[in-house]
Amino acid sequence: MQQYALELILKRKIFTARTEGHDHIALRDVTLQLPPGQFSCLIGPSGCGKSTLLNIINGLDPQFEGTLKLAQDAAPARVATLFQTPRLMPWLTVLENVLLVLPAGADSRQRAVELLNQMGLEAVLNAYPSRLSGGMQRRVALARAFAIRPQILLLDEPFVSLDMPVANRLRELLL
């Protein structure tokens, strides 16, 4: 029997309407089986449910009909998500935003600094997100996602606000 890093059998995902008087079926009859070590891409038009599907997988939206199974070594703590927006904590510095997902200690600090250096952010470790460009904020969020060495990495339009050379360099890091 095939062992999957992730297996989702989704019967329906419904959003309850508050004003229109009828529910909206966002997703129906979706089966997703991802073997370990595989890159997969969800492609579709805006509004078709890609982000909703990612939120179901990462556990942020448990209200669906169906089943979600993660491999034993892919516990929820080992699933990382890079959202469409960076979602940084504005009161934390760049370095603190990455350290937020790591256990306290010198090894974690070293890992966070190394990742931020790889992202080209060594000059802004102590800056706050409000002082960064959108592309820099995106790179901080990517470093934070990489920091936990996830078994499953969910990327929702990860390179959308990056210029081509930076996006290409980060794609290489991802591989």
Mean pLDDT of the chain: 88
**Residues 62 and 92 reside in one and the same domain:** no
Instruction: Kindly report the CATH number assigned to the domain that includes residue 132.
Output: 3.40.50.300
Name residue 93's beta-bridge partners: none
**Residues 108 and 53 reside in one and the same domain:** no
Q: Can you tell me the distance from the alpha carbon of 46 to that of 48, in angstroms, rounded to the nearest whole number?
A: 6
Domain boundary residue among 25, 51, 72? Answer: 72
CA angle 97, 53, 158 (to 5 degrees): 40
**Residues 89 and 134 reside in one and the same domain:** yes
**Residues 64 and 26 reside in one and the same domain:** yes
**Residues 91 and 12 reside in one and the same domain:** no
Which token pair is 55?
């939120």
Q: How many CB atoms lie within 10 A of CB 9?
A: 14
**Residues 112 and 164 reside in one and the same domain:** yes
**Residues 96 and 136 reside in one and the same domain:** yes
- Domain total of the chain: 2
Domain boundary residue among 53, 72, 91? Answer: 72
Q: What percentage of the chain has pLDDT greater than the value 90?
A: 41
pLDDT per position as a tens digit, 145-159: 999 988 888 988 887
Query: What value does the mean pLDDT take over residues 74-102?
Result: 88
**Residues 100 and 41 reside in one and the same domain:** no
Strand, helix or coil at 147? helix
Instruction: Judge residue 125's burial from the number of C-beta atoms within 10 Å of its C-beta, 0-12 exposed, 13-18 middle, 19 or more buried.
Output: middle
pLDDT confidence of residue 84: 85
**Residues 89 and 175 reside in one and the same domain:** yes
Given the DSSP bridges, would you call strands 79-82 and 152-155 parallel, antiparallel or unpaired?
parallel
* Domain around 55: 1-72
The 3-class SS string of 2-54 reads: CCCCEEEEEEEEEECCCCCCCCEEEEEEEEEEECCCCCCCCCCCCCCCHHHHH
Query: What value does the mean pLDDT take over residues 26-32?
Result: 91
Domain boundary residue among 72, 102, 133? Answer: 72
Q: Can you tell me the distance from the alpha carbon of 84 to that of 171, in angstroms, rounded to the nearest whole number?
A: 16
Query: What value does the mean pLDDT take over residues 15-33?
Result: 82
**Residues 21 and 36 reside in one and the same domain:** yes
**Residues 39 and 105 reside in one and the same domain:** no
**Residues 100 and 152 reside in one and the same domain:** yes
pLDDT confidence of residue 36: 84
Q: State yes or no: pLDDT of 19 exceeds 90.
A: no
pLDDT per position as a tens digit, 40-71: 888 889 888 899 999 999 888 889 999 988 87
pLDDT confidence of residue 3: 81
**Cβ pair 4, 33 in contact under 8 A:** yes
Total-model pTM: 0.83
Q: State yes or no: pLDDT of 74 exceeds 60.
A: no
pLDDT confidence of residue 72: 65
pLDDT per position as a tens digit, 106-143: 899 999 999 999 999 999 999 999 999 998 999 999 99
